[in-house]
Amino acid sequence: MVFTVSFDPIIARLGTFELGWHGVATAAAVVIALWLAFRTAPKIGMPREIVERVAMAGFIGGLIGARLFHVADHLPTYLADPLSIVAVWKGGIAVYGAFIGGIIGGVLAARRYAFPIWRGLDLAAVPMLVGQAIGRLGCFANGDAWGAPTGGDWGVVYTHANDLLPHDLLGVPTHPYPIYEIVADLALVLVLLWLRRRRLSDGLIFCVAAIGYALIRFVLTFFRQEAILFVGLQEAQIIAVGTAAMALTAFVLRGRTRATV
């Protein structure tokens, strides 16, 4: 079965500004993720006003990290047109950059406000994954994060010239990678919601989220089409291995303590 995506991923243009479905999905992801965090905070005894400040710092850090990682991945393109680096509304963000930048921004703010870091990371785990799932709808709409060719008469086919996948893949059935990840992310969210009901050391839920997402990216990236960097692995898979190793180490260490910092 072939699903065809033929609509223009750009909704409207105003001069050099373009409003695309990717931008709409990203904005929705941020709003819903923040809403979930703010809604959950009072239920676990965390002051909303401090959560708002830390969350906003995490959002800013995530936005910067996501764009910087993407620009680094496509450096020749952006060196040829430096002004396009700030054109985030056109799409082009890296998920791991968002996670790393968001964590750095949030942790720095948490230290400033004497906020329990590990408990805050636990709070952020579900909103981050829900936001990621929503954001992948934007990737699906514009051909960003495209999958490899399926090699058969099934998959998703992009046909519009403004889609972001390589033009030699237009009209070619490819794996609907964003849909694969949406399903996997939401399944991981269900696991985390179940873990919330159990008495766990602060930080363990976040560690499970990090390990789970690393596993998702490692497995699903086999259905992507990116450059092989090392021992047959793509960049996202190498980052996933490193992330999983650090998160697993943190999981073991946090499992031995009831600390809240």
Task: Work out the burial of residue 192: count CB atoms within 10 Å of its CB; fewer than 13 is exposed, 13-18 middle, 19 or more buried.
Answer: middle
Report CA torsion sign: 196, 201, 203, 204: negative
Give the separation between CA 27 and CA 54, rounded to whole angstroms: 19
Query: Are 167 and 84 a contacting pair, CB within 8 Å?
Result: no
Task: Give the Å distances, CA to CA, from 223 to 88, 145, 175, 202, 219.
Answer: 26, 10, 6, 34, 8
Closest among 205, 245, 198 to 118, alpha carbons compared: 205
Q: Residue 152: helix, strand or coil by DSSP? A: coil
Residue 249 pLDDT: 95
pLDDT given at position 234? 84
- How many whole angstroms separate alpha carbon 42 and alpha carbon 94? 31
Q: CA–CA separation, 57 vs 160, rounded Å?
A: 37
Q: What is the pLDDT along the chain (261 residues), one digit of tens a residue?
A: 899 999 999 998 887 777 889 889 988 998 999 999 888 888 877 888 888 888 889 888 888 888 887 787 777 777 777 777 776 666 567 777 888 888 899 889 988 888 888 988 999 999 999 999 999 999 999 998 899 999 988 999 999 999 989 999 999 999 999 999 999 999 999 999 999 888 788 899 999 999 999 999 999 999 998 778 788 888 889 989 999 999 999 999 887 765 444
- Which residue in 53, 56, 60, 50 sits closest to 101, CA to CA? 60
End-to-end CA distance of the chain: 51
User: What is the C-alpha separation between 47 and 37, in angstroms, rounded?
Assistant: 11
The answer to whether the beta carbons of residues 135 and 117 sit under 8 Å apart is no
Distance of CA 249 to the CA centre of its chain: 22
pLDDT confidence of residue 261: 47
Phi, psi (degrees; rounded to nearest 5) at 150: -75, -20
Taking the C-alpha atoms of residue 109 and residue 122, their distance in angstroms, rounded to an integer, is 16
Reduce the DSSP state of residue 94 to 3 states and report it.
coil
Q: Hunting for tokens 């991945």 — which residue is that?
A: 73
Strand partners, 174: 149, 156
pTM, rounded to two decimals:
0.87
What distance in Å separates the CA atoms of residue 134 and residue 36, rounded to the nearest whole number? 13
The pLDDT value given to residue 114: 84
